[in-house]
């Protein structure tokens, strides 16, 4: 699949091939670049989310998540130790979440750390009572507080990059 995939495309299919190890890389303007596997994510503090309606930007419903758990992206970014050289650097930072197929979504630093949106941006570790490492070989990211959560749902998340815009 390439970067031209439809904004709303989601799949609930379970892969039946042999499970490969999935890792999430955190890099960019950080002092401690990370490579996190599912076991690392499971060891981190998790938040619970209920009754999430995955709706794409057109308003078309795509999926429902009755219950899930995830690690807030702010906790992952904090663990990577963001480098701030100047007082206002965070006002010029954004976070790029990239899927294995190149699909990208953006969040501003302020959005993650200074709004309610940040309290809903999570890397999922459990969905509808099943640990994701047992049901599929990928890591997903959801922005649970968005009006249209499908627009920034990232399947098969591979990379989180902290970028300073100058």
Confidence at residue 21, expressed as pLDDT on a 0 to 100 scale:
54
- Tell me how far CA of residue 152 lies from CA of 8, 42, 105, in angstroms: 9, 22, 6
Residue (of 43, 62, 44, 42) closest to 52 by Cα position: 62
Q: Residues 125-137: what's their mean pLDDT?
A: 74
- Tell me how far CA of residue 116 lies from CA of 51, 119, 162, in angstroms: 17, 5, 20
Residue 110, helix vs strand vs coil: helix
Other CB atoms within 10 Å distance of the CB of residue 39: 9
Chain-centre distance for alpha carbon 84: 23
Domains and CATH numbers, the chain: 24-164 (3.90.420.10)
Residue (of 87, 85, 122, 127) closest to 107 by Cα position: 122
Confidence of residue 3 (pLDDT cuts 50, 70, 90): very low
C-alpha angle 112/118/121, rounded to 5°? 110
How many Cα atoms are found within 13 Å in the side-chain-facing hemisphere of 48? 5
20-30 pLDDT, tens per residue?
457 899 999 99
Local structure of residue 128 (DSSP, 8 states): T
pLDDT at 5 over 90: no
Q: Residues 145-160: what's their mean pLDDT?
A: 91
């Amino acid at each position: 699949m390439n970067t031209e995939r439809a904004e709303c495309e989601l799949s609930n299919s379970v892969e039946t091939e042999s499970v490969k190890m999935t890792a999430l890389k955190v890099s960019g303007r950080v002092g401690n670049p990370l490579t996190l596997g599912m076991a690392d994510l499971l060891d981190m503090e998790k938040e619970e989310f209920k009754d999430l309606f995955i709706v794409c930007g057109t308003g078309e419903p795509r999926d429902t998540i009755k219950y899930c758990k995830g690690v807030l992206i702010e906790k992952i970014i904090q663990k990577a130790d963001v480098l701030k050289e100047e007082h206002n650097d965070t006002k010029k930072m954004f976070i790029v979440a990239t899927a294995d197929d190149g699909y990208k979504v953006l969040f501003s630093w302020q959005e993650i750390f200074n709004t309610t949106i940040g309290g809903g941006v999570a890397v999922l570790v459990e969905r509808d009572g099943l640990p994701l490492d047992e049901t599929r070989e990928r890591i997903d990211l959801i922005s649970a507080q968005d009006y249209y959560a499908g627009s920034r749902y990232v399947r098969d998340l591979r990379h989180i990059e902290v970028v300073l815009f100058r």
